[in-house]
Structure 1
């Protein structure tokens, strides 16, 4: 069996937790700050939460939303809802009250676990929704009165009644995509898919001590958390990322695994105390969420211990590539090769598969894997848009990304379809120009966007953040780049910025960066 093969059979997460409780009951399952939860206690509390949910009238398939930061009660509620065969809906604490209310309505949540730490406006929303009987609200928290109220609620489930048997076809979670237009889409994962994904060999082990610092509602956190739980390791959750605290925790707790986004690696490596911390216990560090700069990958290989794996994929599943950077140091400009058991290829503008022998030809990245969503919640049109079918009718997912393969089968990402700059009828890929800009010694960060041009329709504009202490002449930098690229790729101008707008996981927010230059331009609906 290959190290990334999915296992056979279905073992639901409550059964896995029960097994770990029996085999290693006193071992730590979760740690948040100084608070810990061993496997035996986690197993008991998950059962209590599940039975308390049943007492509240929750039935299999009902949606249970969670809104808050990392805490032990959050973990109990997450897996307790799963044990009750409910569908977990982790909501982003960074969203506005209006968006949160829309998401709760969209998923038709029956109950909301709400952490007062989410803020007064969110608490007011919860109080109003409960008063209107729109849904039940249970408060929980990291400490204080909310924790006591939650413990009292949980105690109502301290019975020995049998829990419903889970099915592989149960909806496990709905994760809302970041969304660039309108309401984010709800990505539905089934229990069987999540269990198979989490139980892949070669990533996590029973000895894993996985340090996670991205928000608990993010798939960047949920996926490695589930992988660690499936194997019976220890999850160490940070309530908020801080580079100094992360380094201290990694050294103190002898962390073996982590999943970070590129901007976090950058901040950790730039921290003045990085070299003073012993990170030698790290066995596997992964990066996802956004493309990583070539120079940052090189610095990781020089200074960061252990195996480094860049993961490219969709929360929707289907498209998945891994770059094992130490094994392929000559391929750092790529996102690796398709993960074992999956298929990734390109399609052209007419939707036809690009023949594999057409090396270097650009196209939309499409893929299929054993780990794919069931669809978008209540969005059949969006589900139909992301799907691509081969001659045998097998479902694949369209990524919305433009890429090209090299002769060794490694994939390089070029742009999002919606971000491709069409200048004078030629496709210009921002990634090509950004890679050149980032080679300049004085450039810290760069984004290339298309702006209106009376002559070409649109033309490339570079937005650049200088390195600390550097003085950049925008015209000279433009000419330096244009001397290295093709005629149709040339920048029209360079503008300096103190920083570039990025999402919570470090992706450049191209839509927002373009907006001032296209005040009347309609925003296209692009899938996904």
Structure 2
């Protein structure tokens, strides 16, 4: 390829060279600068032996170098493995070994701590963005390479993600190429439509770049030629400042981010102008109807959409703004060419309005994890339906409702108890910002319900008062037997609660760990 394709960095560099592409703090990149730096970086990496097909690990926080790296990898026809920057050297070594990656790029404060992760592995180039370190090439040195010859990307780099490893070791997910499949093209177009991006918009990025949503936001903004504002570490008031300063039109957040904005004093909320927002999205964790109502009240009635997806299958469903109050609690209708099957414990399909495990088939459904064996029938059936691990139902109109994670279900005295229902009841208390419910060992019933609460900043409440508030909303067998108020609940970088961290002390040494 020797010419620029439409809606690419190369095309914007030619048609709008001085237009802003990315902004992080006081750092800015125009389309021309982004393209030139990506060319230099690609040539610099090629000189170090990087070739088409290599898997390149990007272990970075949200930063302006990420789109430069992404575009360089596209020009080199490399794969991009987005890695969580919080992983330990041992966890990192597992991913490097399992993926057979060849190149590693990081922005760690102490890159040398990661050197043991490379032992015995075919890493031919390790790059440090911020700190010089033995065994690492400086990112700045690679950028000093010539921007000539110019390179042109055929498409965005294939993205590889590793599952969070809530059950067993993390597994690599490389999405199958579907650009030549008519159904796949229609599916991707339908997903893109729900993101509600328009030419002339401004994107705010606060989601990590080792999750599918972060890269997707970057690439969607590039496709539209729109600028993206990068916020490395989420701060609720700073987010509002950026929305006002840059007239942000599109933002995707996780519930925790919205909760932190909602917890700001009313005077602070009223001091910012968020009227530029045209499209908000929320997902990656359960969203209470109370939180949705607050978002609608503050940001406006026609901006909030909710998406539901899974790493192994891509986006599954979407609930548009006009349905938020008509279908409270729903995750929407399935995307085009997506099929949803609700199944009982024996694997049989259940009728509408019955809760069961969710199985999904999309054009992006994987058939094996990276470098792994084909998936077995307990995960992928003969008709291509993938077991996503969530519990939910379809109503009479085909709207999907997620009720819980299958693995989070508590069985007490032979009765199935779903934590999401209990968490929703606890969140009704005016002093509670977030809640997590788990099952802990019980000699008589097998498990009993325990809750953990995080209070809103500046608020106080007793454990007994919060427990008492559940009496009107939960049957006695569902009510927590114990409740603990904690300073902060454990979460991953996408805002998902890490219930395994809460469970571990209680189940240590037990025969099973639910």
Confirm or deny a common fold (TM above 0.5). Answer: yes
Deviations 1:435-456 (A, max 9, x none): 2222234443322211222222
Alignment correspondent of 1:419: 408
Q: Is the 8 A contact 2:367 2:375 kept in 1?
A: no
Using the TM superposition, give the Cα deviation of residue 129 of structure 1 relative to its aligned residue in structure 2, in angstroms.
4.2
* Deviates further, 212-221 or 128-137: 128-137
Worse-matched range after superposition: 233-242 or 69-78: 69-78
Verify: 1:444 aligned to 2:433, yes or no: yes
Matches within 5 A, 1:144-293: 149-160=138-149, 166=154, 172-190=158-176, 192=178, 197=188, 200-201=192-193, 203-272=196-265, 273-293=268-288
* Structure 2 unmatched ranges of 5 or more: none
Number of residue pairs aligned between Structure 1 and Structure 2: 498
User: In the TM superposition, what whole-angstrom CA distance separates every residue of 1:314-353 from its partner, at most 9, and x where no partner exists?
Assistant: 1222551222244331323222222344222311112222
Deviation for aligned residue 1:277: 1.1
Corresponding residue for 1:329?
Answer: 325
Instruction: Determine the structure 2 residue equivalent to 1:83.
Output: 75
Query: Aligned residue for 1:366?
Result: 359
The runs of 5 or more residues in structure 1 that have no matched partner are 1-10
**Superposition pairs for residues 502-517 of structure 1, below 5 Å?**
502-517=491-506
CA deviation after TM superposition for structure 1 residue 428, in Å: 1.1
After the TM superposition, which of the residue ranges 275-284 and 33-42 deviates more from structure 2? 33-42
RMSD over aligned CA atoms reads: 3.3
After superposition, give the CA deviation of every residue in 1:411-433 in whole Å (9 maximum; x if it has no partner). Answer: 22222111111122221111122
Q: Residues 188-232 of structure 1, C-alpha deviation per residue, up to 9 Å, x if partnerless?
A: 125656997488235212212101012222223111111111222
> TM-score, normalized by length of structure 2?
0.87
Distance 2:333 2:277 in 1: 24
Please list the CA deviations of residues 120-154 of structure 1 after superposition, one character each: whole Å capped at 9, or x if unmatched.
1x3342498499974312232499xxxx9534323
Q: Give the TM-score, by structure 1 length.
A: 0.84
1:435 is paired with a residue of what secondary structure?
A: helix
In 2, are the aligned partners of 1:228 and 1:235 still within 8 Å (CA)?
yes
What does residue 7 of structure 1 align with?
none
Query: What's the offset of the Cα at 1:294?
Result: 2.0
- The question of whether the paired residues in 1 share the 8 Å contact of 2:173 and 2:312 is answered with yes
Flag the 1:228–1:278 CA change in 2: closer, same or farther, 3 A. Answer: same
Q: CA deviation at 1:80?
A: 0.8
Counterpart CA distance in 2 for 1:21 and 1:108 is 34
Contact 1:77 1:113 in 2 (8 A): no
Q: 1:235-288, CA deviations, whole angstroms, 9 ceiling, x for partnerless residues?
A: 111222122221111111111101111111111222232221111111101112
Residues in 1 aligned to 2:417 and 2:105: alpha-carbon distance in whole angstroms: 46
The answer to whether structure 1 residue 408 and structure 2 residue 397 are counterparts is yes
1:46 and 2:38 are equivalent in the alignment: yes
